[in-house]
Structure 1
Amino acid sequence: MLLLGGVGSLAYWSDNDALDGGSVTAGTLALNDVTCDPTWTEGADTDVLLIVPGDTITKECTGTITMTGDHISADVELDATSVAEAESAFNLATTAGDAVDISAVLTGGGTLTQSGPVSVTITVAWPFGTVADNDAQGVSTDALNDLVINAVQVNPHP
């Protein structure tokens, strides 16, 4: 029986060769030229100026999305920080349970799979019937002017 303690050597062959990696370039995702209707609407009222508890108002925003990539798609959504700030403008002046909810959805729903025009419906819902105090009267809605729309790539291989 032969034992190799720390006395032996090990020899082997190896080699390498460069490979042709080809050409691949990263794709792109851009949301541009976003403009919104000048006024908020509720049903047939197309010029809502004073929102009150019980109102659900909407505004349409349009822009252009450009996506390049073999497997790219995107969701369009409101930036969470801008929503939190806008909701806070309402909710700090109201009691718990009377929370304003701000959301946005791609008009028609779904996920974008190609470049082109994009339309987003922003909704501000202020529920009626829960306890609110008079401090909610005259709350500034200026924070709605600072809402931000993001285009976010969807995982192509979930």
Structure 2
Amino acid sequence: MKKFSMKKTTAAAVAAAVGAALLLGGAGTLAYWSDTAASSTQIVNAGKLDLGATVTAGTWKVSNGTTIVDQPLTGKVVPGDQLKAEFLVPAELVGQNLKSELKVTPSVPAGTLSSKVTVKVAIATDAATTVTSSSTPIVKEFTPTTLAAASTGGNVKVTVTVDFPFGTAVDNTSIDTALSAISLAYELKQIANS
């Protein structure tokens, strides 16, 4: 039996490595494939929350019982009359997760007639809120979807009603008096979408 020497084993390993190197590097090259691509520029657009500058005031209409219903107001009011006007508030909401509130702040009714009438304000189809000296603003929440459903032509309807009730006793203190300062302030702002 022959003994292998370390020199022969080492020499054989070196020869194998040199042969492999010659095959790989000397006899040809290894190839690999590569390709590149780029995405197009991505644009992220912000939404929009806009309360138009021009609020359209409706014509005051008067009703008195069942015989006079929604007639344009051309004269002075008398006990038993109910006045109503619709204000069209332009509002626009654009944004997937946008949530907002429309706040309507009515002025406190003033003038001698103010103690004889009841003033109510309603946003869209909500129930009317009575306006008093301690009133807080009337608020309604909207998303783009609910705003579209509640508006007509991009306008949210705000209705103001003034009731001048027919009393049960004589009260001449309201004769030839006035109700003034029925004005509304509007604010549309984003709120947390929780």
In the TM superposition, 1:24-43 aligns within 5 A as 28-42=49-63
The residue aligned with 1:88 is 110
Q: CA deviation at 1:29?
A: 4.7
Alpha-carbon displacement from aligned partner over 1:7-59 (angstroms, at most 9, x marks no partner) = xxxxxxxxxxxxxxxx9x89745243211123323262421232222222111
Which deviates further from its counterpart, 38-47 or 118-127? 38-47
The reply to whether residue 62 of structure 1 matches residue 88 of structure 2 is yes
Superposed, 1:4-153 pairs within 5 Å as 28-42=49-63, 44-48=69-73, 49-67=75-93, 70-77=97-104, 79-80=105-106, 82=107, 84=108, 87-91=109-113, 94=115, 98=116, 100-109=117-126, 111-114=141-144, 116-129=154-167, 133-144=171-182, 147-153=183-189
Distance 1:152 1:31 in 2: 10
Q: Distance in 2 between matches of 1:141 and 1:91?
A: 5
What CA distance in whole angstroms lies between the structure 2 residues aligned with 1:32 and 1:120? 15
Check whether the contact 1:76–1:105 (CA below 8 A) recurs between aligned residues.
no
Q: How many residues are paired up?
A: 124
TM-score, normalised on structure 1?
Answer: 0.58
Task: Tell me, in whole angstroms, the C-alpha distance in 1 between the residues paired with 2:180 and 2:98.
Answer: 39
Separation in 2, partners of 1:129, 1:139: 17
For structure 2, list consecutive stretches of 5 or more residues without a partner in the other structure: 1-43, 127-139, 148-153
Post-superposition shift, 1:65?
A: 0.8
Q: Where does structure 1 lack aligned partners over 5 or more consecutive residues? A: 1-22
Runs of 4 or more consecutive aligned structure 1 residues displaced over 6 Å after TM superposition = none
Q: Secondary structure of 1:64's match?
A: strand
Given the superposition, is the C-alpha separation of residues 130 and 63 from structure 1 closer, same or farther in structure 2, using an over 3 Å criterion?
same
Structure-2-length-normalised TM-score? 0.49
Partner amino acid for 1:107?
A: A
Measured in 2, the distance between the counterparts of 1:68 and 1:131 equals 54
Identity %: 21
Residues 152, 139 of structure 1: alpha-carbon distance in 2 compared, 3 angstrom cutoff: farther
Q: Residue deviations 1:95-121, cap 9 Å, x none?
A: xxx4x2212212323643226321111
Instruction: Specify whether residues 155 and 126 from structure 1 end up closer, same or farther in structure 2 by C-alpha distance, changes over 3 A only.
Output: farther
> Measured at CA, do residues 151 and 103 of structure 1 come closer, stay the same or move farther in structure 2, by a change above 3 Å?
farther
8 Å contact kept, 2:49–2:189: no
**Structure 1 residues 124 and 36, CA, compared in 2 at 3 Å: closer, same or farther?**
same
Instruction: Report the RMSD for the aligned CA atoms in angstroms.
Output: 3.4
Point out the structure with max Rg over C-alpha.
2
